[in-house]
């Protein structure tokens, strides 16, 4: 199975933010659209990913800093301060096992899928799990049908 096959099963709507956008804007975008990540684009190029994980991390750092200095309100935190810079990317022809290894090695739950320099969509570990499950379910049904129709041996 390759990434292109997964893309056929998922919504490819892409949500993007600027690195100079307030993090609150990105959080609202993610919440309004029920997505766990947005692609950070600067000058037409992918420069990062912002996921709920990076949002939690920057908020935790700021809370810890509170005890040593003033903590800026969330409206004063910008995407570029929290984003995962230069995230790993996938291509439509990449094998799913290769993509899973890439995601695990980089601790990335979301990866932009690129066609050259163009972002097609973001693929998540959930998308991969869903596609693999559907593929295995289909294989099981086909094998069971095959076995059921297997001619019986004559004694």
pTM here? Answer: 0.76
Each residue of 3-33: pLDDT tens digit? Answer: 988 888 888 899 999 999 999 999 999 999 9
| pLDDT (mean) for 106-113 | 95
Each residue of 36-84: pLDDT tens digit? Answer: 999 999 999 999 999 999 999 998 888 777 666 665 667 688 999 999 9
Question: Which domains are assigned to the chain?
Answer: 3-148 (3.10.580.10)
Please state the three-class secondary structure of the chain as a single string: CEHHHHHCCCCCCCCEECCCCEHHHHHHHHHHCCCCEEEEEECCEEEEEEEHHHHHHHHHHHHHHCCCCCCCCHHHCEHHHHCEECCCCECCCCEHHHHHHHHHHHCCCEEEEEECCEEEEEEEHHHHHHHHHHHHHHHHHHHHHHHHCCCCCCC
What pLDDT is stored for residue 114 in this prediction? 95
């Amino acid at each position: 199975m390759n990434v292109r096959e997964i893309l056929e099963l998922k919504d490819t709507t892409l949500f993007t933010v600027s690195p100079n956008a307030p993090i609150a804007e990105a959080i609202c975008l993610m919440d309004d659209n029920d997505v766990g990540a947005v692609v950070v684009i600067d000058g037409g190029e992918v420069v990062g990913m912002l996921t709920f994980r990076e949002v939690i991390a920057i908020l935790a750092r700021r809370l810890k800093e509170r005890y040593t200095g003033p903590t800026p309100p969330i409206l004063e935190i910008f995407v570029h301060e929290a984003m995962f810079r230069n995230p790993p990317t996938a291509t439509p022809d990449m094998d799913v096992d290769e993509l899973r290894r890439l995601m695990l090695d980089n601790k990335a739950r979301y990866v932009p899928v690129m066609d050259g320099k163009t972002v097609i969509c973001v693929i998540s570990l959930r998308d991969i799990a869903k596609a693999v499950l559907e593929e295995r379910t289909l294989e099981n049904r086909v094998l069971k049908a095959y076995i059921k129709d297997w001619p019986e041996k004559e004694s």
